Structure 1
Amino acid sequence: MSVSLRPSQALRLWQHVSLSEVLDDRPDLSMRQTAILLTIYLDPPPHTVRGLAARLAVTKPVITRALDTMGALGLVSRHRDDNDKRNVLIKRTVKGALYVERLGDVIIEQGRELPL
């Protein structure tokens, strides 16, 4: 399936989704945190701090700070890799999966309301 939007429509959709997230009483993630969360949930595991840093072209401390916030919200969890104690594996949680699924629903809903 392909969706064709003009740039102004795409920006309007992004604005509506962003406003919906800000006005809602759910965690308000930054753009970077959202990109990390979507990478964890949409790309196949395993996910490590090192791997996420490379994928998003940021430093490991940047990923760690974002994961601290998302971990406190229950959206992800971290565990030492039993095979390599230097690695920290990032795991999905039920709460995080529900958050991502709801975000997808918000995007669909807001997209349906876009004037053509």
Structure 2
Amino acid sequence: MIELTSNQALSLWHGAIAESVRREGPDLSARQMAVLLTIYLGEPPHTVRGLAEALNVAKPAVTRAVDRLSELGLVRRKPDDQDRRSVLLQRTVKGSVFLTEFADIVAKYGRAA
């Protein structure tokens, strides 16, 4: 693990966020990014209920974030074959590319910190 001072951590985050909003891609809120990262970094399956529990936020807030991420093509909803009342959230190629590019930005600013 890399040790950063508070100022280095904030500088890293600022640099990564500032560069990401200058790019052509979507400008995600902190909640949307947290939901997206939870889906991509955690083991599937993912549901709104599970994401709400993992992030300790209300299900409607997660639903709104997932709605936007779905509109952007960063995640996909799929009916659960085992439980027709439930919807699974899946990764997409577009979402994977978005996060790979974002990770590259973070790594770039991490080297500078």
TM band (smaller chain)? over 0.9
1:95 alignment partner in structure 2: 94
Aligned to 1:107: 106
* Comparing 2-11 and 29-38, the one that deviates more: 2-11
Distance in 2 of aligned mates of 1:91 and 1:101: 16
Q: How much does 1:87 deviate? A: 1.1
Q: Does 1:72 align with 2:68?
A: no
After superposing on structure 2, the runs of 4+ consecutive aligned residues of structure 1 that deviate more than 6 Å are none
**Larger RCO, structures 1/2 (Cα 8 Å, 6+ apart):** 2
Letter of the structure 2 residue corresponding to residue 58 of structure 1: V
In 1, Cα distance between the equivalents of 2:93 and 2:8? 33
Aligned to 1:58: 57
Alpha-carbon distance in structure 2 between the residues aligned to 1:10 and 1:18:
12
Whichever residue aligns with residue 86 of structure 1, its letter is R
TM-score, normalising length: structure 2: 0.95
- Distance, in Å, in 1 between the alignment partners of 2:20 and 2:14 is 10
Instruction: Give CA deviations for 1:20-75 in whole Å, capped at 9, x if unaligned.
Output: 11111110000010000000000110001111111111122111111111111100
Q: Does 1:83 align with 2:78?
A: no
Question: Partner amino acid for 2:65?
Answer: A
Partner secondary structure for residue 89 of structure 2: strand
Quick one: distance in 1 between partners of 2:89 and 2:103? 21
Q: CA RMSD in A?
A: 0.9
Q: Which runs of 5+ in 1 are unaligned?
A: none
